[in-house]
């Protein structure tokens, strides 16, 4: 289903057998997409914002691209979200259960300037002008991301990066989850604890991992971190360096 520049209110799509959804400058309000198995989506295609307000995707399967899309007050209960490209996705007051797999949520759109320049080149080759409002959309300083409830979701190989404020979300808190409320302090604390241990290959690997997180995560504005131990297990156990890393981080955060 392709929806361009339309506002759709109160429609139940859950019985229509849709396998794809493309929104271009569209607005869906109080619509239901429950149980649908989307093979590919482009939730915010083109160079315009698509919005989903108080919609439900309960029991659905979603994979594909979020594009320029914004979800407010939507539910994703028992939903499977996998391999979703979400550079410009905005989420406000949404509820997630089920599983989110291989997806990164971004506080600041990564590579936005480069993408914007590439899009302008593409438009010029097509003899088209820049769409009104596209510059502000593509070059916005941050994605709005708050009030979301992930506490009942299984986050598999899922990350929050570039300044997603995790203090403004509800997060999983099971025995497999490690929440780090002050990433910079915890990583430096873990490095200090590591310095008191004998230097060996495991020591070196852990130090590289911790310093890499300081550079790539904290250095790019991510002030809190969420780890899931199962993501580091292969095939079913932690490698020595990962076991030590979690031990140090738990000590540094007092958990």
Do 128 and 9 share a structural domain? yes
Question: Do 126 and 231 reside in the same domain of the chain?
Answer: no
**Quick one: 217 and 94 in the same domain?**
no
* Span between the terminal Cα atoms of the chain, in Å: 48
Rounded to an integer, what distance in angstroms lies between the CA atom of residue 249 and that of residue 157? 19
Same domain for 136 and 198, yes or no, is no
At which of 128, 153, 172 does a domain end?
Answer: 172
pLDDT band at 62 (very low <50, low <70, confident <90, very high): very high
Q: What is the pLDDT of residue 15?
A: 86
- pLDDT score for 255: 82
Domain membership of residue 195 as a residue range: 176-255
pLDDT bin (cut points 50, 70, 90) of residue 221 is very high
What pLDDT was estimated at residue 43?
97
Single residue among 138, 172, 206 that ends a domain in this structure: 172
Whether 227 and 125 map to the same domain: the answer is no
Nearest of 200, 70, 221 to residue 146 by alpha carbon: 70
Q: Contact 142/108 with Cβ under 8 angstroms?
A: yes
For residues 12 and 32, the answer to whether their CB atoms sit within 8 Å is yes
Return the exposure string of 57-70: e unless at least 16 CB atoms fall within 10 Å of the residue's CB, then b: bbbbbbbbbbbbbb
- Same domain (yes/no): 188, 81: no
Query: What is the C-alpha separation between 85 and 49, in angstroms, rounded?
Result: 15
Looking at the structure of the chain, the number of domains it has is: 2
Max Cα–Cα distance, the chain, nearest Å: 64
pLDDT at 134 exceeding the cut of 90? yes
User: Is the per-residue pLDDT at 6 higher than 90?
Assistant: yes
Q: Give the residue-averaged pLDDT of 182-194.
A: 97
Same domain, residue pair 1 and 112: yes
Please indicate, yes or no, whether residues 24 and 131 belong to a single structural domain of this protein: yes
* pLDDT of res. 220: 96
Whether residue 92 is predicted with pLDDT greater than 90 in this model: the reply is yes
Q: How confident is the model at residue 236 (pLDDT cuts 50, 70, 90)?
A: confident
Quick one: 33 and 108 in the same domain? yes
Question: Can you give the pTM of this predicted structure?
Answer: 0.94
In this structure, the answer to whether residues 25 and 126 fall within a common structural domain is yes
The residue-averaged pLDDT of 134-145 equals 96
Query: Higher model confidence: residue 49 or residue 234?
Result: 49
Q: Do 5 and 91 reside in the same domain of the chain?
A: yes
Among 155, 172, 189, identify where a domain stops: 172
């Amino acid at each position: 289903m392709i929806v361009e520049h339309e506002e759709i209110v109160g429609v139940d799509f859950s019985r229509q057998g849709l396998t794809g959804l493309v929104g271009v400058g569209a607005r869906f309000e109080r619509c239901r997409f429950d149980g649908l198995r989307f093979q590919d989506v482009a939730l915010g295609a083109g160079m315009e914002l698509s919005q989903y307000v108080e919609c439900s995707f309960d029991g659905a399967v979603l994979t594909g691209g979020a594009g320029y899309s914004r979800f407010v007050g939507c539910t994703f209960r028992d939903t499977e979200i996998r391999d979703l490209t979400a550079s410009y996705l905005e989420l406000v007051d949404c509820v997630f259960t089920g599983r989110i797999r291989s997806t990164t949520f971004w506080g600041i759109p990564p590579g936005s300037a480069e993408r914007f320049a590439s899009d302008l080149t593409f438009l010029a080759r097509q003899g088209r002008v820049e769409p009104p409002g596209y510059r502000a959309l593509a070059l916005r300083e941050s994605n709005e991301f708050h009030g979301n409830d992930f506490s009942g979701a299984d986050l598999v190989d899922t990350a929050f990066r570039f300044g997603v404020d995790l203090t403004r979300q509800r997060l999983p808190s099971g025995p497999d989850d490690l929440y780090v409320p002050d990433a910079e302090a915890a990583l430096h604390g873990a490095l200090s604890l590591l310095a008191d241990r004998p230097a060996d290959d495991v020591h070196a690997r852990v130090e590289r991992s911790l310093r890499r997180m300081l550079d790539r995560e904290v250095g790019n504005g991510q002030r809190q971190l969420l780890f899931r131990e199962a993501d580091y297990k292969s095939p079913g156990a932690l490698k020595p360096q990962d076991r030590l890393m979690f031990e140090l981080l738990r000590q540094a955060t007092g958990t």
